[in-house]
Amino acid sequence: MKNKKNMSVPVLCSVSLFSIAIFLWVFGVYAIGSSSQSYMIEWQIMSLCSTDWSLPIIVDYISLIFSCFVCLISGSVSLFSVSYMDGEVFMRRFMLLIMAFVGSMNLLIFVPSLITILLGWDGLGIVSFALVIYYQNKKSLAAGMLTVLANRIGDALLILSICFLVNWGEWRIGYGMTGDYSLLVCVLVVVGAMTKSAQIPFSAWLPAAMAAPTPVSALVHSSTLVTAGVYLVIRFYSTLIEAQEVLWFLSKIGALTLLMAGLSACFEVDLKKIIALSTLSQLGLMMFTVGVGFPVIAVFHLFTHALFKALLFLCAGSIIHSTMDTQDGRILGGLNYLLPFSSSCLVLSSVALCGMPFLSGFYSKDLILEGVFSSFNGGLEVFVMLVGAGLSLVYSLRILLMGVFGQSFGGGLFTYGVESGYVVSSIVVLSLGAVMGGWLLQSVWVSVNGFSLVGVLGKMVISVVTFLGLLYGFAGFLSKKVFGKSFFGGLSRFLSSMWFMNLVSGSFLAGIGLKWGGLMHLHLDLGWMEMLGGQGVFKALEKGVDLSYFVQSGSLLVYIRVFLILLMLFLLSASW
């Protein structure tokens, strides 16, 4: 272990975060669970112009459990970083960024005021940019610019919504607000949340952000940053329910994102990008669930998804680190013999992602499917959601077949490392969460117990959808082996490119936006605006001063010319 003094920093941060997570879980279960009430603590800072400037803090099941899971995952990531970032010189700087990220996330979670949420929201954007560009190469810088530009759109929309909330004189969210600009405020908040959660058409930045170190991906792009938009929409739901048009729009966008990301993950070859696209697919499922009127189930799925998706990223990071930074699925393979522990936990997290019964993902995914069947939705919308949910087994099987059970096309055995004790410890913690998280939440949180009563047909459809990917995998294998052609044929390029979302959002923000900015600087700031503006005024003043000097030169010939010009002007004005 190199640089043991630096490595003590993540261990200390990990112990602190685990302690906070245990305290929040015990406090949330016994203090909030025994009374079944929510608490609002508010400090008035000042009163100005008949408006109270206060700091509200909300303490309920959602905020406590979310903060507990954020601290738990952050502690596991810090422990994982001891081994993964072994040769890192600036380890303290890295951990400072991680702790700043956790602080911004907790500020977003506990404070139900849109102004204070903006501080945490903007803090997440700034720290995530610093983490994405951590390796300081061209690829990470391009991904960081795309991330920060997409997030800045959300920041601007939230600032606009705050400006319109002045009409209500209230910045706290969680209350039903109606009146002037209510629909516009709801649209601004929802679209701003869509930028942070990478919904269509802002989807390009999430797969690109995989240029960050794997511990950053496990923390930022699985359970915290990308879920901030979903969390904001859930907190704002009491106002959104007054604007059914916005919820209708949100459900359609969520279903499209779910389908697009699921299909793209079925064609991707990069191990980390497959996991990123699966995260995007689950985010679409959460947004769809909020849009059809089940915010409590959506936040339940957010919690369970955070546990097994962080585990999936850490297992993938352990494999990448042990295989000397190899993450191309076409090279990996046979890892069940070389890295048995990481491979087995990768299988566990992938199975939880599919919704296998009695693991964490099953409890929330089954509730979502039951809720969709019992709600009043269109047949096409339900079909798209079922296909998107069934695709989770397809890309999970691709991860396992490429990385664990497939044939290896890499180098010799000497290129493989062994998992350290820190990696094993961090993976074990999240594995327990992936196995028992859903059951524990249902045992302490009454609101997320099963309540939808669907018939036998509905239960059968849900069971079939959970294992639908096996049918697709068999059909794809049969068409490839027997007919010698791909199942999708010419559509493969369209599906693998995220429906050309890179061109729609990525190129628009990072390419066209920066190009037009440069052109505007060249032609406006340095072009005709400069000539009509600063330089033009300077030239006009210069010529005016020269004329004044010429008129006052003291020459008789100049005075005669000025007299004749003034006489002609006087005669012309008199004739009119």
Domain boundaries, the chain: 1-172+204-216, 243-487, 527-575
pLDDT tens column, 356-407: 777 887 888 878 877 777 776 667 777 777 887 778 888 888 788 777 776 6
Residue in the block written with tokens 């913690």: 429
Is 328's pLDDT higher than 80? Answer: no
**Mean pLDDT, all residues of the chain:** 78
In the chain, pLDDT over 70 holds for what percent of residues? Answer: 77
Which of the four pLDDT bands, split at 50, 70 and 90, describes residue 414? very low
Confidence check: pLDDT of 10 > 60: yes
Distance CA 218, CA 221 (A): 6
Is residue 207 within 8 Å of 278, Cβ to Cβ? no
Better-scored residue on pLDDT, 550 or 274: 274
Contact call for residues 240 and 112 (beta carbons, < 8 A): no
| Cβ-contact 85, 91 below 8 angstroms | yes
Total residue count of the chain as it appears in this document: 576
Angle at the Cα of 282 from the Cα atoms of 382 and 301, rounded to 5 degrees? 90
Choose the most confident range, by mean pLDDT, from 29-38, 130-139, 449-458: 130-139
Distance CA 524, CA 305 (A): 48
Q: Which ranges in 236-324 belong to alpha helices (H)?
A: 237-240, 244-265, 271-291, 295-322
Residue whose C-alpha is closest to residue 510's, from 198, 156, 204: 204
- At residue 163, the pLDDT reads 82
- Greatest mean pLDDT range, 279-288, 407-416, 513-522: 279-288
Report field, pTM of the whole predicted structure over 0.95 = no
Comparing 43 with 504, the larger pLDDT belongs to 43
pLDDT at 484: 44
Q: What sign does the CA torsion over 407, 410, 412, 417 have?
A: negative
Residues 395 and 276 sit within 8 Å (Cβ to Cβ): no
